[in-house]
Amino acid sequence: MSKDNSKKTVKPPIQKPNINYVIAVMSGKGGVGKSTIAGLIASSLQRRGLAIGLLDADITGPSIPKLFGIHQSPLSSPEGILPVQSENGIKIMSINLLLPEEDQPVIWRGPLIGRAIQQFWSDINWGDLDYLIIDLPPGTADAALTVMQSLPLDGIVLITSPQDLAGMVVRKAGNMSMHLGIPIIGLVENMSYTICPKCGESINLFGESQAESTARMLGSQLVGRLPLDTYLSVMCDQGKIENYSNLEFENVTEKILEFASPKEKEASLEAGN
């Protein structure tokens, strides 16, 4: 009988010394606003004066360039391909920046998708970064597994929506993270509620929140409940996500900074030298 190697993981490569932290944004469930949250995290961290990169690992459904209003192709350099910079200086790489038309589909099988993600890590000249944020595709298959096994992730932010149906799928992603030994920074509930423009009442459009229960089941914490905001939708469609801010989202940023402080990482790297 063959030996079961299902719990073995591929050893990640040595962390690039010029990238302090690598944080993945994951859901498992599609349609919960994962890419939007990844863009908001990158923008919020950048506003604090940090050097930020954003890797769009959703090869078959890339949306990061659209959120930031980026259409130009990346340039090459002797040290590798240069990511395209957003209006405020976030370094971005996505398969959509390499396509002749943004509506052109990427019809690839899993192994090719995995190689593309690895090349986005190894062949891109990211330069000096405090944080590299990785936007993962839905699911727990090839693309997510490639990132989690071959890239040196420091932690994962999980995204859900109020329904327990979403929570069930998100728990699969969380359990995958724990199975591979990657810490969960926290759970963010998106589209948690909306505010009535006439009376100011908070309305739970998708029912009562199940996020606290989901976080407890994963042994993690709920770090933010974000509203369904039509203004955010407009800003995303206009490619101006960097110009959107929400006080409730700042708690998410604070939790990331508490989990992964650039100063702490720099000190540990210096101590290792």
Q: Does the pLDDT value for residue 155 go beyond 60?
A: yes
Residue 17's pLDDT band, with cuts at 50, 70 and 90, is: low
Within 59-218, residue ranges assigned H as helices are 64-68, 110-122, 142-150, 164-179, 211-217
Q: Give, as one character, the DSSP assignment of residue 89.
A: -
The two three-digit tokens of residue 47, written as one number: 């506003």
Residues 6+ apart with CB under 8 A from 164: 210, 213, 214
Residues 6 or more apart whose CB falls under 8 angstroms from that of 193 comprise 202, 203, 204, 205, 225, 227, 228
Question: What residues have CB less than 8 Å from 45, skipping those under 6 apart?
Answer: 52, 130, 131, 133, 253, 256, 257
Query: Cα(68)–Cα(72) distance, rounded to whole angstroms?
Result: 12
Give pLDDT, residue 164: 86
In the predicted structure, residue 163 carries a pLDDT above the cut 50: yes
Q: Are 226 and 190 within 8 A, CB to CB? A: yes
Q: Are 149 and 12 in contact (CB under 8 A)?
A: yes
Region 207-223: mean pLDDT is 91
pLDDT of residue 5: 45
Amino acid at 179: H
The answer to whether residues 224 and 191 touch, using CB atoms and an 8 Å cutoff, is no
Of 35, 26, 100, 98, residue with least CA distance to 61? 35
**Is the pLDDT score of 13 beyond 70?**
no
Residue pLDDT, tens place only, 224-236 = 999 999 999 999 9
Res. 50: pLDDT tops 60: yes
Number of C-beta neighbours around residue 135 at 10 A: 26
Mean pLDDT of the chain: 88
Structural domains in the chain plus CATH codes: 19-260 (3.40.50.300)
Pairing of strands 194-195, 202-203: antiparallel
